[in-house]
């Protein structure tokens, strides 16, 4: 049986005004380039944006980490970056850390979430895309979706989910990975993923090995060795028939959870679920936003999208996010609005501290 691969590859290649949103011209060019590749390199595609991030959603049969797929995405990003430079858009080409493609976009700046699977009788997927936050932002939600019976009633009620799920966690600092099986090892899993700047959930599987979720774990600053904004992650989740229901997958986003990112990638802020039309970062370059597009994957075609957070059921969390934003903004440059010093090492703050390096004097005992 031919397997289906879903690849979501994203990059910020320039935006307007400032870091608010991707220009429609870039969306148009990206959509056209992917359409032209349909029938040869890929099967189907959808292009969108979350804030200043250009998002390419593609289906094909070539598996994860495929050179042709990654090269196609790279070519789209470089062409859009060229146009962005011509238009003098802000941060034109900022996430493209290499000059030329070399086999795989991982490590070159773009974020990648891919999964390969045998299509079930009917296969709903949800594609989540975020701006102004880091890959670990998904940790909380993935735990709620796949391991918390107070969120996902199927873990208790549905025999096909009752065995639980397996989580692959990456230590993005040490470049190591580990797997935890839930519910048995839930507390051990939480011991790590509760520190999302370092420990990031990369995959979730059913216990029989069927893939259920895949995320992007690229940390731009660690790659570039300098501040280049947050990573603005993406995630793909399969739903229904032995996986959490669509409603169970999106329900945790009704809670106003704080994530790292926002202005200058240096602040905690509420993670606000919005429809695509509201996926423009405004207030204090944010607040961090997440969109979710729902599709049916049908013989490798994408039926959809449905704009899942464009819904009055999510109005209240948006209001609560605004209230939290007020509380945090009142702190100005103080923690816990500003990130901890450890996390600030990956921002522009060290360059300021450097100026005062020689003015610090020892305090006599």
Report which DSSP code applies to 103.
Answer: S
21 forms part of the interface with ligand F6R (CB under 6 A): no
18 forms part of the interface with ligand F6R (CB under 6 A): yes
287 forms part of the interface with ligand F6R (CB under 6 A): no
Token pair listed for 169: 């966690």
Peptide bond into 336 cis (omega under 30): yes
User: In the bound complex, what is the minimum distance in angstroms from residue 157's beta carbon to Mg ion?
Assistant: 39
Packing angle, helices 137-147 and 186-193, rounded to 10 = 170
Question: Is 252 within 8 Å of 244 (Cβ atoms)?
Answer: no
Alpha-carbon span 123 to 296, nearest angstrom:
6
User: In the bound complex, what is the minimum distance in angstroms from residue 136's beta carbon to Mg ion?
Assistant: 16
337 forms part of the interface with ligand F6R (CB under 6 A): no
114 forms part of the interface with ligand F6R (CB under 6 A): no
* Maximum Cα interatomic distance, the chain, rounded to a whole number of Å: 75
Q: Output the CA–CA distances (angstroms, integers) from residue 288 to 3, 182, 200, 354, in the order listed.
A: 35, 29, 18, 29
For ligand F6R, the closer of residues 127 and 260 by Cβ is 260
55 binds, among ligand F6R, Mg ion, none (CB under 5 to 8 A by kind): none
123 forms part of the interface with Mg ion (CB under 5 A): no
Q: Among the candidate windows 34-42, 142-150, 262-270, 351-359, which touches ligand F6R by CB under 6 A?
A: 262-270
55 forms part of the interface with Mg ion (CB under 5 A): no
60 forms part of the interface with ligand F6R (CB under 6 A): no
Question: Which position among 111, 265, 288, 304 is part of the footprint of ligand F6R (CB under 6 A)?
Answer: 265
Question: Which position among 6, 9, 12, 60 is part of the footprint of Mg ion (CB under 5 A)?
Answer: 12
17 forms part of the interface with ligand F6R (CB under 6 A): no
| b/e map 241-258, b = 16+ CB within 10 Å | ebbbbbebbbbbbebbbb
| Residue 161, burial from CB neighbour count under 10 angstroms (0-12, 13-18, 19+) | buried
- Residues annotated as catalytic are 12, 227, 230
270 binds, among Mg ion, ligand F6R, none (CB under 5 to 8 A by kind): none
- List CB contacts of 190: < 8 A, sequence separation 6 or more: 143
Q: What is the DSSP string of 218-258?
A: --HHHHHSS-------EEEEE-STTS--HHHHHGGGGS--E
264 forms part of the interface with ligand F6R (CB under 6 A): yes
Question: Which position among 43, 89, 263, 279 is part of the footprint of ligand F6R (CB under 6 A)?
Answer: 263
User: In the bound complex, what is the minimum distance in angstroms from residue 90's beta carbon to Mg ion?
Assistant: 7
Closest CA to 113 of 274, 232, 278: 232
Residue corresponding to tokens 């992650």: 233
Question: Which position among 10, 19, 23, 62 is part of the footprint of Mg ion (CB under 5 A)?
Answer: 19
Question: Is 68 within 8 Å of 41 (Cβ atoms)?
Answer: yes
Residue corresponding to tokens 């296969």: 123
Q: Residue 299: what are its φ and ψ, rounded to 5°?
A: 50, 50
For ligand F6R, the closer of residues 167 and 346 by Cβ is 346
132 forms part of the interface with ligand F6R (CB under 6 A): yes
∠ CA 252-111-45, nearest 5°, is 85
229 forms part of the interface with ligand F6R (CB under 6 A): yes
19 forms part of the interface with ligand F6R (CB under 6 A): yes
232 forms part of the interface with Mg ion (CB under 5 A): yes
230 forms part of the interface with ligand F6R (CB under 6 A): yes
User: In the bound complex, what is the minimum distance in angstroms from residue 275's beta carbon to Mg ion?
Assistant: 18
Q: Among the candidate windows 61-69, 102-110, 136-144, 263-271, which touches ligand F6R by CB under 6 A?
A: 263-271
288 forms part of the interface with ligand F6R (CB under 6 A): no
Interacting residues with ligand F6R (CB under 6 A): 18-19, 132, 229-230, 263-265, 285
Interacting residues with Mg ion (CB under 5 A): 12, 19, 51-53, 91, 131, 232
């Amino acid at each position: 049986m031919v397997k289906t691969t879903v690849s979501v590859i994203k990059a910020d290649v320039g935006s307007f005004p400032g870091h608010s949103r991707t220009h429609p011209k870039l969306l148009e060019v990206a959509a056209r380039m992917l359409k032209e590749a349909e029938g040869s390199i890929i099967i189907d595609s959808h292009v969108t944006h979350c804030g200043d991030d250009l998002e390419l959603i593609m289906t094909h049969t070539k598996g994860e980490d495929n050179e042709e797929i990654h090269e196609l995405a790279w070519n789209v990003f470089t062409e859009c970056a060229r146009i962005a430079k011509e238009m003098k858009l802000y941060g034109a080409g900022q996430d493209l850390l290499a000059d030329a493609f070399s086999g795989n976009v991982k490590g070159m700046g773009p974020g990648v979430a891919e999964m390969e699977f045998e299509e079930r009788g009917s296969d709903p997927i949800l594609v989540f895309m975020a701006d102004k936050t880091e890959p670990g932002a998904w940790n909380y939600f993935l735990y709620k979706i796949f391991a918390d019976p107070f969120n996902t009633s199927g873990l208790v009620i549905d025999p096909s989910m009752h065995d639980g799920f397996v989580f692959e966690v990456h230590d993005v600092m040490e470049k190591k990975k580990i797997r935890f099986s839930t519910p048995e090892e839930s507390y051990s899993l939480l011991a790590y993923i509760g520190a999302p700047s370092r420990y990031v959930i990369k995959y979730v599987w059913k216990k029989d090995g069927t893939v259920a979720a895949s995320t992007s774990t690229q940390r731009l600053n660690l790659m570039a060795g300098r501040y280049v904004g947050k990573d603005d992650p993406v995630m793909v989740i399969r739903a229904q028939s032995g996986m959490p229901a669509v409603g169970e997958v999106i329900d945790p986003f009704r809670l106003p959870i704080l994530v790292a990112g926002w202005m200058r990638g240096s602040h905690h802020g509420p993670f606000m679920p919005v429809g695509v039309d509201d996926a423009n970062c405004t207030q204090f370059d944010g607040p961090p936003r997440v969109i979710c597009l729902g599709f049916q994957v049908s013989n490798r075609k994408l039926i959809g999208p449905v704009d899942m957070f464009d819904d009055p059921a999510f109005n209240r969390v948006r209001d609560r996010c605004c209230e939290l934003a007020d509380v945090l903004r009142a702190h100005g440059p103080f923690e816990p609005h500003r990130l901890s010093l450890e996390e600030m090492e990956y921002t522009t703050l060290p360059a300021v501290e450097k100026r005062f390096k020689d003015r610090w004097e020892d305090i006599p005992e």
